[in-house]
Amino acid sequence: MNKKLITNLLFGALIFACAPTLAYEAPLTETTPSIDGRASDPAWQLAEWAPIDQIILGETPSTEDFQGRYKVVWTQSKLYLLAEITDDVIIDTHPDPLDSYWDDDTLEVFIDEDKSGGNHLASYNAFAYHIALDNQSVDFNSDGKPRTLNDHVTSSWKRSEESGNKIIWEAAISIYPDTFTDTDNKANPVKLQTGKKLGFMLAYCDSDGFSGREHFIGSHDVEPVNGDKNRGYIDASVFGTLTLVKSLSAK
């Protein structure tokens, strides 16, 4: 092995070792949260808040323009997500769920069931669920074209009683393996269990008007490729790790 190749490998390993990644532990819940945008279920008290504060695209927004945090719990059949979003403009300018959905206010949930990483731009090796304000969920299919996956995700949001700029967004997500196909919509989601690790990332598309997405903010920093941090919809290797635990006090 030549000296240049050794140097490149060591440099790559150093970047990988230093790159910040998400590590979140989601506790098991015995009571299923109601997906109603209210955040009043006892299940949410089991989990810890984690921030959505890492800039993927655009400049850093003001705290009035955007703030975000989230929690995750699980049952054997689903992941449950609670997101608390402060956004001074809530907008959906594309009624067609398959048209430029990333240019509206959108909650994006990235899931890699077996944490295998790798490209998923035109495959179901991993999922990037774009959850719109009308609660429809979209990802690319195996031909690289957008399709709805509404049977994978149930979501609901409401404005907080504390502040008109704050919304509470809840989602129940069935976890599908990479054997899911476009033609077999009856493919079974996996059963979840304690100790399972999934690739996971959460992000928010912030749009303030008809000009499209101004900011894209994620749950953890992403190592850029040629200056580009917007890699989640392409490469599951940039996801963090979501570990399913029995409880936060008894892992």
pLDDT for 186 = 63
Residue 14 included in any domain: no
157-188 residues labelled b (16+ CB within 10 A) or e (exposed): beebeeeebebbbbbbbbbbebebeeeeeeee
User: Which comes out higher in pLDDT, residue 43 or 64?
Assistant: 43
pLDDT for 6 = 35
Residue 127 included in any domain: yes
Residue 251 included in any domain: no
pLDDT for 8 = 36
pLDDT for 187 = 75
CB 139 within 8 Å of CB 153: no
Could you give the CA distance from residue 172 to residue 154 in angstroms, rounded to a whole number? Answer: 5
Could you give the CA distance from residue 73 to residue 35 in angstroms, rounded to a whole number? Answer: 13
Neighbours of 231 (CB within 10 A): 17
Q: Please say if the pLDDT value at position 191 is more than 80.
A: yes
Residue 5 included in any domain: no
In this prediction, residues 28-51 reach a mean pLDDT of 96
Report the percentage of the chain scoring pLDDT > 70: 90
Residue 16 included in any domain: no
Q: What is the pLDDT of residues 65-96, one digit of tens each?
A: 899 999 999 999 999 999 999 988 888 888 88
Residue range(s) defining the domain that contains residue 137: 21-245
pLDDT for 64 = 84
**CATH code: domain of residue 122:** 2.60.40.1190
In this prediction, residues 165-182 reach a mean pLDDT of 95
Mean residue pLDDT across the chain: 88
Could you give the CA distance from residue 103 to residue 93 in angstroms, rounded to a whole number? Answer: 8
Residue 210 included in any domain: yes
Q: Is residue 106 within a helix (H) or strand (E), and if so which, with residue range?
A: strand 106-112
**For the chain, what is the domain count?**
1
Angle at 84 between CA 199 and CA 140, to 5 degrees: 45
CA neighbor of 137 nearest in space, from 119, 152, 159, 122: 152
Q: Please say if the pLDDT value at position 15 is more than 50.
A: no
Q: Please say if the pLDDT value at position 123 is more than 90.
A: yes
Position 239, amino acid:
F
pLDDT band, residue 163 (cuts 50/70/90): confident
Lowest mean pLDDT among 6-20, 75-89, 194-208: 6-20
- Tokens 């809530």 label which residue? 90
Residue 121 included in any domain: yes
Angle at 19 between CA 138 and CA 169, to 5 degrees: 35
Residue 84 included in any domain: yes
pLDDT band, residue 62 (cuts 50/70/90): confident
- Predicted TM-score (pTM) of the model is 0.88
Q: Is the C-alpha dihedral spanning 42, 240, 149, 231 positive or negative?
A: positive
Q: Is 170 helix (H, G, I), strand (E, B) or coil?
A: strand
